Structure 1
Amino acid sequence: MDYGVVWFKRDFRVVDHAALAAAARRGPVLCLCVVEPSLWAQPDAATQHYHFMLEGARELHAELRRLGGRLHLVVGDMPAVLDRLHALAPFSTLYSHEETGNGASFARDRAVARWCREHGVRWHEFPQFGVVRRLADRDRWQPAWEAHVGAPQVPQVPQPAPIFVPLPWPAERAPAAASLGLSAVEPALRQRGGREAALACLHDFLDVRSGQYRGGISSPLSAPTACSRLSPYLAWGQLSLREVVQATRERIARLPEGDRRRAGLSAFVSRLYWHCHFIQKLESEPALEFENLHRGYDGLREHDWNPAHFEALVAGRTGWPLVDACVAMLRETGWINFRMRAMLVSVAAYPLWLHWRPVGLWLARQFLDYEPGIHWSQMQMQSGTTGINTTRVYNPIKQARDHDPQGRFVRRWLPALRRVPDTWLFEPWRMPPDLQARCGVRVGEDIPAPPVELESATRAAKSRLHALRARPEVRAAKAAIVERHGSRKRPAARGRRPSGSGGQLQFEF
């Protein structure tokens, strides 16, 4: 009996699942989830990612059981799994969603494509996001995004109802994270995966929390509830981008004028557009995970690596309270808001003068919602190596005063600073020795002193960057990058277009 294999990768849902629906229309299907040791061995993988994926896979398995099937979990690298499956129960078609992942998943997908050609198996891939494979012209990208998110959703129960095929060998269990080489450390307060949690998060945001979105997403105090918190569910496909955009637009249409949620949800839709805009950069140029997008910046930081600076950052002991509090929150929750992420990268790139690649690998493991396309594009953008974006340098002292003026966030995550008076809270290394003694806080022992003087180190870093940027050959190469990766402004239609000015849209903070 011929059948099709539906390969679930980062799309753990039944709703709006184009691959499952297409396979069901053609005939019997086998639903497959593959735990690939070579992918989990990559330096951007973390235990929290693995467990979040398994939580989604378990709920998907329950959904498929209600339809009369099951999700078969198999351990092994994908070409070897396909070899074994094809030898025991030949099939003619493989179905999946497209994936814009890291370099290892890209190489894996090319190996799968080769295997399919060699075995006469047709591989049908379907867009997961508003990302266009083999995009020839950025001018046409925005209409393609609108077409994707505006298309009808695939029904929850594919029609005709699927006929499910069993796996031709005994069921396998998901291996423990440690057996895959993943660290035992995992954020105790991270979000939990699965479709049920994803829908609860979505409806809570649409119904209630979106009223805080405008004006609430910048401060680390308000952001945990003001932000949508949907990013991990989108990254692992437990919600589809299309269903989130459509649900948001439907809610906007039903809300009365003047309702704060309307403004918040409209801004949120523009963020979903940017979500795909940045992933498209990695889809179009996979090398940006490893190399400067603008090659004229090669050598800017690579040869000045300072391990002591990196260790201070990773340990949350830079001495800049807001930076260290953000690292502490990441360690416990797997999440911080976008502005604080940008500040962390800025501090790493400028006063600490660290190259973005090792910092990015560390942060990839810290972020539960790690999405390679967004992550590596932002790492380079905030580090100043894209060649097309404005230099963004975040002063951690100013950010603390602007977004945590009473020090509640800093004191929550850094208990040693709870005894420090407000006057000295964001620059505790300046406290006189007698005040340190009265507070029982010794700089250099109980709390760290910064490894560099912030203003002078930042000034020197910006000077080096701008000197390189001013070179004629570096300036000359900018136009080609804008043509390939720059956003395009189009006339607004029905209030659905992201805001911006000029031909190159800017991310709205």
Structure 2
Amino acid sequence: MAGSKKQKVNLVWFKRDLRLSDHQPLANAIASDLPCILIYNFEPLLLEDPHYSLRHWRFVAQSLKDINQQLEKYNAEIAIYNQEMITLLETLSDEFDIAGIYSHQEIGLHNTFERDWLVKSWLNNKAIPWYETPLGGVKRARPKHFDWQTYWHGVMNQRLVTPNWQAFNAILPNNYQAATCVDDFLEHDPQFQYGGPHAARVCLQSFVEERAMNYQSGISSPSKSRDSCSRLSPYLAFGNLSLRQVYQTLKYYLAKQPLSWRRSLHAFESRLHWHCHFMQKFETQCSMEFAPQNAGYLHYPYRDDELVAEHLKRFEQGQTGIPLIDACMRCLAATGYINFRMRAMLVSFMTHHMNIHWHPVSLILSRYFLDFEPGIHYPQIQMQASVTGTNTIRLYNPIKQSEDKDADGMFIKTWCPELKNLPIEDLHQPWQQPPMEALFNNFKLGEDYPEPMVDIEQAAKQARERLWSFRERDDVKQGAKVMLHQHVTSLKKQRHGS
């Protein structure tokens, strides 16, 4: 009826925090005693972003389906939209009196940063408060002198947040219909991990109770890591679990599991620290999405010849002619997962051996990584591309990695079946087969499998000269000092007595 009073509500805006447990914004919204509208928006700006692909939106859609099944007992659901965020807020404010918006802070890409400024401006004009909760152990607007390690441990050891479900009152807008894109995203590919808090908890439980036993021995192998690594990264990236939930579960099992397991569990615990460490760096210097952390590397002599596009395409398709590189890329394309050592090798190969700028390489990998997390992705890409001036230069030899980490060739044979009949002595470097042996193996390089697009040994020598000579430049050294001043925590200063 015209002139009728709007119903007062809170909005809970889900982003990369797709769970109901240990969810501070949701708990805070429920505690305010107002009805809640829970929303997720498949924003066009993200659906069109070159960092993402169908695999990410499928994971999100699966997560939302799981959560909405959990909410059925409360006669509630997350309302799913596909609109520009300001348009959605305008529509909701036409129907409701929005008392406040509750969400986690987002450690996202530049486009979500710009969107947040538009949202903040819109909310300010409407006098609507936005209650943002810090994400994990990341501190926004970190003070200059800040003991980040102590802060991180404090956050991880806090009691898990439990919403008051007895007071939960969720409603839906009138005439609500879920965004049609959801149905397009829900078709599951069994080679990918399934999204949602339920699958996340199963994965965590299987790791701490069974799979962690082989964590240390399998972490560097592209084959063994598929089982022995935690495989929790996509669930953390999209917030099906909070890092605090994982940390506290791990601490419980550290006290419970036999001594022989503890080394592996402690090694995994260190990765949880690094998770937030890299996200904190990105939050502090988000420009690294586009530019090197060390400004001296703005002038690094990357290639700009006409073959760069072709080489990027061959890399993306797993057709470089280097068996382990191709096996890793094909595995990523098909499953969304490869272990950390192989990720580092892929970046090193393209930025060092091929001398191609890290940014287009990072876009290819982000589309493939099911666990793409902007705050971890870009600091890692730049570290492995050796454009920080502070980290060790890691020039991985893909042939040595192949012989060491896939000694029996099973990973290569799985993902490059055209090589499966080659003897192991030729598998890692098929271009070195003598002609008579290639004839005997019924194998023709250039037809059955591509010729390598680079001479590994020669390219490594050139890369080594480029990398080390550039690192000695005054502007790179100065950039390294600026970086260390910007990112080193006060805890480190305290340990050195300053």
Report the TM range for the smaller structure's normalisation.
over 0.9
Given the alignment of the two structures, is residue 268 of structure 1 paired with residue 274 of structure 2, yes or no? no
* Equivalent residues of 2:278, 2:379 under 8 A apart: yes
* Aligned equivalent of 1:351: 353
* Aligned equivalent of 1:300: 300
After superposition, the Cα gap between the structure-2 partners of 1:2 and 1:346, relative to the gap in structure 1 and judged at 3 Å, is: same
Identify the match of residue 169 of structure 2 among 156, 163, 166: 163
* Equivalent residues of 2:58, 2:187 under 8 A apart: no
TM-score, normalised via structure 2 length: 0.94
Aligned-pair distance for 1:2? 1.8
For 2:97, what is the secondary structure of its paired residue? coil
* Aligned equivalent of 1:62: 69
After superposition, the Cα gap between the structure-2 partners of 1:198 and 1:323, relative to the gap in structure 1 and judged at 3 Å, is: same
* Aligned equivalent of 1:26: 32
* Equivalent residues of 1:47, 1:185 under 8 A apart: no
* Equivalent residues of 2:303, 2:356 under 8 A apart: no
CA offsets per residue over residues 249-280 of structure 1, 9 Å max, x none? 01101223x232x2111111110110110011
* Aligned equivalent of 1:238: 240
For 1:93, what is the secondary structure of its paired residue? strand
Q: Hey, what's the Cα distance between the residues in 1 that align with 2:146 and 2:353?
A: 37
* Equivalent residues of 1:187, 1:334 under 8 A apart: no
Q: Hey, what's the Cα distance between the residues in 2 that align with 1:127 and 1:202?
A: 23
After superposition, the Cα gap between the structure-2 partners of 1:324 and 1:269, relative to the gap in structure 1 and judged at 3 Å, is: same
* Equivalent residues of 1:292, 1:298 under 8 A apart: yes
* Aligned equivalent of 1:11: 17
CA offsets per residue over residues 462-489 of structure 1, 9 Å max, x none? 2112222111232122111012124676
Identify the match of residue 131 of structure 2 among 104, 124, 131: 124
* Equivalent residues of 1:56, 1:238 under 8 A apart: yes
Given the alignment of the two structures, is residue 467 of structure 1 paired with residue 450 of structure 2, yes or no? no
After superposition, the Cα gap between the structure-2 partners of 1:185 and 1:445, relative to the gap in structure 1 and judged at 3 Å, is: farther
1:460-499 map, 5 Å: 460-486=462-488
1:439-478 map, 5 Å: 439-478=441-480
* Aligned equivalent of 2:229: 227
Q: Hey, what's the Cα distance between the residues in 1 that align with 2:180 and 2:339?
A: 32
1:340-419 map, 5 Å: 340-419=342-421
For 1:341, what is the secondary structure of its paired residue? helix
* Equivalent residues of 1:20, 1:158 under 8 A apart: no
For 1:477, what is the secondary structure of its paired residue? helix
For 2:98, what is the secondary structure of its paired residue? coil
Q: Hey, what's the Cα distance between the residues in 2 that align with 1:136 and 1:456?
A: 47
* Equivalent residues of 1:5, 1:94 under 8 A apart: yes
Q: Hey, what's the Cα distance between the residues in 2 that align with 1:67 and 1:177?
A: 23
Q: Hey, what's the Cα distance between the residues in 1 that align with 2:247 and 2:224?
A: 23
Counterpart code for 2:78:
L
Counterpart code for 2:110:
G
CA offsets per residue over residues 128-186 of structure 1, 9 Å max, x none? 2111001123741111111111111011x4255212222133222341687xxx9x999
* Aligned equivalent of 1:282: 282
Identify the match of residue 82 of structure 2 among 55, 60, 75: 75
After superposition, the Cα gap between the structure-2 partners of 1:47 and 1:177, relative to the gap in structure 1 and judged at 3 Å, is: farther
Q: Hey, what's the Cα distance between the residues in 1 that align with 2:277 and 2:303?
A: 31
* Equivalent residues of 2:147, 2:491 under 8 A apart: no
For 1:91, what is the secondary structure of its paired residue? strand
For 1:79, what is the secondary structure of its paired residue? helix
Counterpart code for 1:127:
P
* Aligned equivalent of 2:260: 259
Q: Hey, what's the Cα distance between the residues in 1 that align with 2:159 and 2:476?
A: 45
Counterpart code for 1:26:
S
* Aligned equivalent of 2:4: none
Computed over aligned residues only, the root mean square deviation of the Cα atoms, in angstroms, reads 2.2
* Aligned equivalent of 1:250: 252
Aligned-pair distance for 1:65? 2.1
Farther off after superposition, 410-419 or 293-302: 293-302
* Equivalent residues of 1:85, 1:168 under 8 A apart: no
* Aligned equivalent of 1:88: 95
Given the alignment of the two structures, is residue 45 of structure 1 paired with residue 52 of structure 2, yes or no? yes
Given the alignment of the two structures, is residue 175 of structure 1 paired with residue 181 of structure 2, yes or no? yes
For 1:450, what is the secondary structure of its paired residue? coil
* Aligned equivalent of 1:215: 217
Counterpart code for 1:263:
R
* Equivalent residues of 1:24, 1:160 under 8 A apart: no
Q: Hey, what's the Cα distance between the residues in 1 that align with 2:279 and 2:496?
A: 22
Q: Unpaired runs of 5+ in structure 2?
A: 1-6
Q: Unpaired runs of 5+ in structure 1?
A: 492-500, 504-509
Q: Hey, what's the Cα distance between the residues in 1 that align with 2:123 and 2:293?
A: 32
Aligned-pair distance for 1:192? 0.6
Identify the match of residue 149 of structure 2 among 126, 133, 142: 142
CA offsets per residue over residues 283-303 of structure 1, 9 Å max, x none? 111110111111111131455
Q: Hey, what's the Cα distance between the residues in 1 that align with 2:183 and 2:314?
A: 27
Aligned-pair distance for 1:444? 1.1
CA offsets per residue over residues 292-344 of structure 1, 9 Å max, x none? 11111113145535223212211211111111111111111110000000000
For 1:153, what is the secondary structure of its paired residue? coil
For 2:59, what is the secondary structure of its paired residue? helix
* Equivalent residues of 1:47, 1:177 under 8 A apart: no
For 1:64, what is the secondary structure of its paired residue? helix
After superposition, the Cα gap between the structure-2 partners of 1:381 and 1:177, relative to the gap in structure 1 and judged at 3 Å, is: farther
* Equivalent residues of 2:9, 2:96 under 8 A apart: no
After superposition, the Cα gap between the structure-2 partners of 1:467 and 1:112, relative to the gap in structure 1 and judged at 3 Å, is: same
Identify the match of residue 153 of structure 1 among 155, 160, 163: 160
Identify the match of residue 194 of structure 2 among 179, 192, 200: 192
* Aligned equivalent of 1:495: none
Q: Hey, what's the Cα distance between the residues in 2 that align with 1:327 and 1:274?
A: 25
For 2:11, what is the secondary structure of its paired residue? strand
For 2:363, what is the secondary structure of its paired residue? helix
* Aligned equivalent of 2:3: none
After superposition, the Cα gap between the structure-2 partners of 1:138 and 1:456, relative to the gap in structure 1 and judged at 3 Å, is: farther
Q: Hey, what's the Cα distance between the residues in 2 that align with 1:455 and 1:187?
A: 39
* Equivalent residues of 1:89, 1:168 under 8 A apart: no
CA offsets per residue over residues 167-213 of structure 1, 9 Å max, x none? 133222341687xxx9x999651111111111110000010001111
For 1:304, what is the secondary structure of its paired residue? coil
For 1:238, what is the secondary structure of its paired residue? coil
